[in-house]
Amino acid sequence: MNRYLFVALMIHLGSLSIPAFSCTNFIITKGASKDGSVMITYAADSHTRYGAIAYYPAASHRQGSRCEVFHYENGKLLGTIPEVPSTYSVVQFMNEKQVAIGETTFGGLDSLSSQPGAILDYGSLMRIGLQRSKTAREMIRVMTSLVAEYGYATSGESFSISDANEAWIMELIGKGKYENGAVWVARLVPDGYVSGHANQARITTFPFQKSNDWNNPGQTVYHSPDVITFARKHGFYKGSDVSFSFSDVYNPLKFGGARFCDARVWSFFRNVNKEIRENKEYTSYAQGKFVRNTTMMDQSPNPNGFASNRLPLWVKPDSQVSLQQLMARMRDHYEDTPLDMRNDLGAGPFQLPYRWRPMEFEVDSVMYLNERAVATQQTGYSFVAQSRSSLPDAVGGIFWFGADDADGCVYAPMYCGIQRVPESFLIGNGSMITWSETSAYWAFSQVNNWAYTRYNMIHPEIEKLQTRLENHFFLEVAAIDKRTADLYAGNRKEALALLTDYSVKTGNKLVGDWKDFYRYLFMKYQDGNLKISDGEHLQDNGNGKNIPKKPLHPGYGKEWERVMIQGSGDRLKVPEVVQ
């Protein structure tokens, strides 16, 4: 790949700035999923992020080759590091070995937010790690070894890292001006449990290990050897080792960390776990109300006075989670919770569960907020990475990719073994400031933005087609799985070609279908009217002249009409006619 193209990839992939409170990850372990797969999700949220898929082919490198490291967000060349003899192919954030990664930025202590001379930022670290790792554990080792040697160029990050058997959460923050490298901790999510993170560091206390035994499958926690001593040395922490909390020390909890960030994890947890759903302490926490008891929720001591009603790092779901359920959780707006946005005045007459930014605003010297839900208008793309140990790697890994707001996307299956991506999803096919008629991002953004105008009317139609298409993909994938798994052992090349052909054709056809859908929706809801349809086609008046049946005029609804007349006095009243 030439240097010009690589810079273009980085600029298109990344946002131009790091927005506050962006991105959401959920983690499903093998025993917690209905089909025995390991799954992680990622919503890449930024008002300048364009939704497209990067592809890096597998490659062999001559001895002495250098890997150029470009900043994930602004494309600046940060430096070079030695290349390895061979690298794996990568589809966005999943490689051919079914290893996948997602991230959320937590920022953390200001004094650790930048490191002079560092070469690796979080996005480059993720990409290079995938190119060099065949398991999640190896990914952790590669990433942390790289930052130890070459420095860490961005602020604190939480990572979801998975393969076909395990899922990990890792949190890492640079050492700022004090030292080269980073402090970090990684924990294996216990099988049968689910986890998540959303821009607030989540790992609190953890069992300290004397060393990282990378070859020991029984080790369930890894960390930098100085994760505690560094904090103590520079005055960030004064307590005991056993009570040390990575999150509370390196990303001290504030109101926004709970209300804007962890509340998204709470919404996911409460949907799958009865204890979280029914415990008012957790609901209070999600609302940004902290309790600092002498013991934590699990009755462990709290000598440092940290918030004691924080969410657990992981929970056991009441029942195993399906792929469809996980996709639905990426479309969450706090429905049927105390943070539900559909019924206050900000929702308007059409119950819109979105609030335009900024997230905080001032009225009469009082600060107010707009909720930050999982599904949000500024999502560039989201994915569900599904890894399945029962199939060959190239077949077992599926990168379910959705462009724009997850609430209105359709997750398209991209097998991790593919050798190219659909043109409609390709980096360089359009941008945030360049229109493309064949772009997946702009096709889905058109429909979503039209739905925002009359959400409770238009979105049900989107959801209906979304469900139908995804269910169709699930059936197709089951057939492709069987066909390619049988073929793979005898003819790997033909199997990879089949996977690629299916993924490419499916992605391109989806975008074409969605553009047709937009045209249908636009005509149906034109000018505030509602034309009569059979659910797929607009109906004429029966005379064969392409004249529609008389449209309905749904207006604003009785409840909102009452709001509209408040304070208007007699101005809007129709005078009674005196006979």
pLDDT digits (tens, 9 = 90+) for 465-496: 999 999 999 999 999 999 999 999 999 999 99
Q: What is the pLDDT of residues 497-545, one digit of tens each?
A: 999 999 999 999 999 999 999 999 999 999 999 999 998 899 999 999 9
pTM to 2 decimals? Answer: 0.94
Exposure string for 66-90, b = 16+ CB within 10 A, e = fewer: ebebbbbbebeebbebebeeebbbb
Residue tagged 């941008």 (tokens): 431
Please count the other Cβ atoms lying within 10 Å of the Cβ belonging to residue 338: 9
| Residue 483: φ, ψ to 5° | -65, -45
Rounded to the nearest integer, the mean pLDDT of the chain is 95
For residues 20 and 374, what is the distance between their CA atoms, to the nearest angstrom? Answer: 14
Residue 10 — pLDDT band, cuts 50, 70, 90? very low
- As a dihedral over the C-alpha atoms of residue 514, residue 503, residue 268, residue 310, rounded to 10 degrees, the angle is -130
Domains of the chain by residue range = 3-369
pLDDT(15) > 60: no
Q: Output the pLDDT for position 18.
A: 37
Nearest to 444 by CA among 377, 515, 495, 386: 515
Residue identified by tokens 């070995």 is 97
Q: List, in sequence order, every residue forming a beta bridge with 384; answer none if it has no partner.
A: 41, 400
Strand partners, 540: 548
Amino acid 21: pLDDT: 56
Q: What is the pLDDT of residue 577?
A: 82
Q: Are the C-beta atoms of residues 415 and 499 closer than 8 Å to each other?
A: yes
Cβ pair 373, 38 in contact under 8 A: no
Confidence of residue 5 (pLDDT cuts 50, 70, 90): very low
pLDDT range class, residue 37, cuts 50, 70, 90: very high
What is the DSSP secondary-structure string of 347-383?
GGGGT----PSPSEEEETTEEEE----SS-TTEEEEE
| Predicted local confidence at residue 73, as pLDDT | 81
For residue 538, CA distances in Å to 113, 394, 443, 456 come to 55, 43, 21, 19
Q: Can you list the positions of beta strands (E) in 149-269?
A: 156-162, 167-174, 182-188, 194-197, 221-223
Residue type, 548: P
Per-residue pLDDT band for 198 (boundaries 50, 70, 90) equals very high
- The tokens for 303 are 């000598």
Question: Please, what's the largest Cα pairwise distance for the chain?
Answer: 99
